Amino acid sequence: MSLVFLIFLPILAALLIPLLFKKLSRIHTGWFVLIVPVILFIYYASYLPQTMEGGTFTSEFQWIPSLDIAFIAYLDGLSLLFSLLITGIGSLVVLYSTFYLDKNREQLHNFYVYLLIFMTAMLGVVQSDHMITLYLFWELTSISSFLLIGYWYTRDRSRFGALKSMMITVFGGLMMLGGFVLLSIMGNTYSIRELIAQAPDLVQHEFFIWALVLILLGAFTKSAQFPFYIWLPDAMEAPTPVSAYLHSATMVKAGLYLVARFTPIFAASGLWVWLVTGVGLFTMIWASVFALKQKDLKGILAFSTVSQLGLIMSLLGASAMGFHVEDAANTVFKYAAFAAIFHLVNHAVFKGSLFMVAGIVDHETGTRDIRKLGGLMSLMPISFTIAMIGSLSMAGIPLFGGFLSKETFLTAMLAITEFEPFSMDVWGFLFPVIAWVGSVFTFIYSLYFVLHTFTGKHKPEELPKQAHEAPIGMLIPPAILAMLVIAIFFIPNVVGDWIVKPAVLAIQPFLYTSPEQVDVHVSAWHGFNTELFMTLGIFAVGGLLFWLLRKWQPVYDKLPETYSLNSLYDFMMYLSDSGAKRFSALYMTGFIRSYLAYMFGFFILIMLTTLYLVDAFVFDTTNLAPVGTYEIFIAIALVAATITTIAAKSRLTAIVALGAVGYSVALFFVIFRAPDLALTQLVIETISVALFLLAFYHLPINSKKEERISFKVGNAAIALGVGVTMTLVALSAHSQKLLPSISEYYKETVYSEAGGGNIVNVILVDYRGFDTLFEIAVLGIAGIGIITMIKLRLSKKEGHHENK
């Protein structure tokens, strides 16, 4: 089966939902939608044995061959990993949504259409080898996520969060497109694989740094890195299934995928290493600190997601350092890419379960405010167990998968201190310090989420609903994820061999040629080393700070909201909105005359400037025909009629004079032996004069503004400017014929090819047949519109007489 077809399978299924929705209204739409991700997950899983051995698969569909644009699906270890996350977590989210969303109160057909569109967009992002189609799918994720976040569009916060996410991510997408264009110029190809093969030759190109920065802007905005993370907390207004899918396992991971995929191209640059690693670590510590300020369960998870994304981003940056170290495959740098992918898998699993638990708490208690929650452990024991497993994995506690990936993270950060290039041996000590501090706060907010929700005193009087355990159907998806969290701890190397190592090969092809060469063995006990003591310190300091949380947490309330990044975004949006309105008010006068003046004015400026810059003021009169006596008299009459049109005080006189101008032009056509054009001109001019007389009869008398000398001088200046400009363009074009006139082609082929004797008619009917057809269609539509308006007016009059 074609990989390209599989990418579009969800969006094709989305087309059927409106048809099935009403016919099968008794059954929840989610049960039909569930079939799509399950089939895709099983199919993609069948590729695991081949990718485990380093195999890759390609499928291609030509889209626009003339522009070298095609849908090229490329499946290797990295894209397969993300495809499994997209379809696997997607299957559980759809199952969860069938119990979370009430089919009698929600517009389910909209929800699942948006969800399936998003699934196609994500599969396209992670499998596209062509940069233009990757960008197409990238922006489709922004649009579909906008629709999903704003699903409850009657809520102000939902609309605000949807718009905010789209504004920031679309901005990053446009920057990324610029980077793609520069890369295509540098490598003369849109293929990512071909660019990776040319990577050593691209480093010295003058566009290399620009492409690097622009692509990172796209990655940072999508993966919510500092300072672009502000859209993610507001996106939590979406339904919980959306948060569990988009903001833990898929959309926010797209930025990580982009960095991972392009690391082989940019790894040779020290700027890439510094930016990706530095921004990732700063994002991690920033978000982990501010997660403890949140009072909403999904708000806590949003900031924890930003923090974990920063952690993975920093590891991807550290993985690029292996490019600059001899025999790096046998050093601790091999842990960076492995830890990034390993933690990416762990994060998708435990964060998906935690989002689902947050939705369960909201669904069964009516609130997500952690200040109103507490003591739910006895009322919701299964939810508490799932939440505890996911939170302890996020905190990096043993017996859960998150502990193992956190240990490899610390190993990679410690390795940076031994890295000499780019002055890492001087400043590198900051990286493990920041990583350790961020891990301490990660430990605190993990306990904060689960213990403040499920332990302590129960406060039923503050809950909108009486708390109780969720139905079994809603518990199954997070329970499956929780079991995976535990399973990963006990079989980490199975996960590593089957999923992680093939993805590492795609990130570090400069170190390995097959997944078997990724010599990383994960174990819960790795001896008494620095990482162990750092972990013990995280538990000790984190536990102490959590115990004292109520004493120092009020510090957050003293931080001024005015100077936050959200306030800056709000100010910029207000400024752009008010500024746009003021600027629009300057030129949107409501008068057609003003708009024509702007257009003609810019036309004169652009054309004359272009003629001057290209030195086109060249006039050759050698090939001009002699001017006859009749032509002189007609030209004088034409000029006189034109002056009369301008100077006339009566509109009737001006219309008659304007008709004389048109008839004079028709006489020119007669002299130039173009009877068809002359006849057309006479007919059109007659109709135009009649319509002008009819229309102007109903217009009011000239306003005082129209009688002002300045008003008439302005009109005269614009008219004179357009006339002079067109004259200069015509003379310049006639004097500098770089190519033979197309009229010669018409003369040679009009009879032999088209079988006609009248060159004008043949051009209109054959050579410009579609143009003429569309002109006729426009006239037909205009005629239908006029007849409709006349009939409506007549029917109103008849109704008025009947009422009388």
What's the predicted TM-score (pTM) here?
0.81
Q: Once rounded to an integer, what is the mean pLDDT over residues 760-785?
A: 85
Tell me the Cα Rg of the chain. Answer: 35
Q: Are 345 and 466 in contact (CB under 8 A)?
A: no
List the Cα angle 71/75/78 in 5-degree steps. 120
| DSSP-assigned beta bridge partners for residue 483 | none
Q: What is the pLDDT of residue 802?
A: 55
CA 86, distance to chain mean position in Å, is 18
| Least confident residue range of 22-31, 36-45, 355-364, 626-635 | 22-31
Q: Which residue has the higher pLDDT, 746 or 377?
A: 377
Structure tokens at 218: 């796209």
Query: pLDDT tier at 421 (50, 70, 90 boundaries)?
Result: low
Per-residue pLDDT at 527 exceeds 90: no
Q: What is the pLDDT of residue 769?
A: 81
Query: pLDDT tier at 495 (50, 70, 90 boundaries)?
Result: very high
Q: What is the pLDDT of residue 423?
A: 59
Spatial neighbors of 683 by CB under 8 A, at least 6 apart, are none
Q: Which residue has the higher pLDDT, 566 or 333?
A: 566
Q: What is the pLDDT of residue 353?
A: 95
Angle at which helices 430-454 and 381-395 cross, to 10°: 170
Per-residue pLDDT at 570 exceeds 80: yes
Per-residue pLDDT at 600 exceeds 60: yes
Amino acid found at 455: T
SS (H, E, C) 25-62: CCCCHHHHHCHHHHHHHHHHHCCHHHHHCCCCEEEEEE
Per-residue pLDDT tens for 343-392? 999 999 999 999 999 999 999 999 999 999 999 999 999 999 999 999 99
Per-residue pLDDT tens for 237-248? 899 999 999 887
Per-residue pLDDT at 746 exceeds 90: no
Query: pLDDT tier at 95 (50, 70, 90 boundaries)?
Result: very high
Phi then psi dihedrals of residue 57, to 5 deg: -140, 140
Query: pLDDT tier at 772 (50, 70, 90 boundaries)?
Result: confident
Per-residue pLDDT at 648 exceeds 70: yes
Rounded-to-integer distance, Cα 467 and Cα 363, Å: 9
Per the document, the length of the chain is: 804
Query: pLDDT tier at 801 (50, 70, 90 boundaries)?
Result: low
Residue-range domain boundaries for the chain: 1-266, 267-527, 592-755, 756-804
Query: pLDDT tier at 566 (50, 70, 90 boundaries)?
Result: confident
Per-residue pLDDT tens for 68-94? 899 999 999 999 999 999 999 999 999
Per-residue pLDDT tens for 256-279? 999 999 999 999 888 999 999 999
Per-residue pLDDT tens for 668-711? 888 888 887 888 888 888 888 888 887 776 766 665 555 677 77
Per-residue pLDDT at 329 exceeds 70: no
Per-residue pLDDT at 555 exceeds 80: yes
Query: pLDDT tier at 332 (50, 70, 90 boundaries)?
Result: low
Q: Are 415 and 332 in contact (CB under 8 A)?
A: yes
Q: What is the pLDDT of residue 594?
A: 84
Burial class of residue 413 (count of CB atoms within 10 Å of its CB; 0-12, 13-18, 19+): buried
Neighbours of 670 (CB within 10 A): 16
Query: pLDDT tier at 585 (50, 70, 90 boundaries)?
Result: confident
Most confidently modeled range among 468-472, 566-570, 580-584: 468-472
Query: pLDDT tier at 425 (50, 70, 90 boundaries)?
Result: low
Q: Once rounded to an integer, what is the mean pLDDT over residues 396-403?
A: 94
Most confidently modeled range among 184-188, 417-421, 520-524, 615-619: 184-188
Per-residue pLDDT at 328 exceeds 80: no
Q: What is the pLDDT of residue 218?
A: 96
Q: Once rounded to an integer, what is the mean pLDDT over residues 758-780?
A: 84
Spatial neighbors of 182 by CB under 8 A, at least 6 apart, are 207, 210, 211, 214
Q: What is the pLDDT of residue 479?
A: 96
Q: Which residue has the higher pLDDT, 423 or 355?
A: 355
What is the chain's mean pLDDT, rounded?
Answer: 88
Spatial neighbors of 465 by CB under 8 A, at least 6 apart, are 364, 365, 366
Q: What is the pLDDT of residue 526?
A: 81
Per-residue pLDDT tens for 105-155? 888 889 999 999 999 999 999 999 999 999 999 999 999 999 999 999 989
Rounded-to-integer distance, Cα 360 and Cα 373, Å: 13
Strand segments, DSSP code E, in 24-170 are 57-64, 69-75
Rounded-to-integer distance, Cα 730 and Cα 725, Å: 9
Cα 691 to Cα 140, 458, 659, 686, distances in angstroms? 48, 81, 11, 9
Per-residue pLDDT tens for 447-458? 999 999 999 889
Per-residue pLDDT at 1 exceeds 60: no
Query: pLDDT tier at 422 (50, 70, 90 boundaries)?
Result: low
Residue ranges in 417-529 assigned as alpha helix (H): 424-427, 430-454, 472-490, 492-495, 501-507
Q: Which residue has the tokens 């605190």?
A: 444
Query: pLDDT tier at 732 (50, 70, 90 boundaries)?
Result: confident
Residue ranges in 455-556 assigned as alpha helix (H): 472-490, 492-495, 501-507, 530-547, 549-552
Q: What is the pLDDT of residue 615?
A: 81
Percent of the chain past pLDDT 70, that is, above it, reads 95
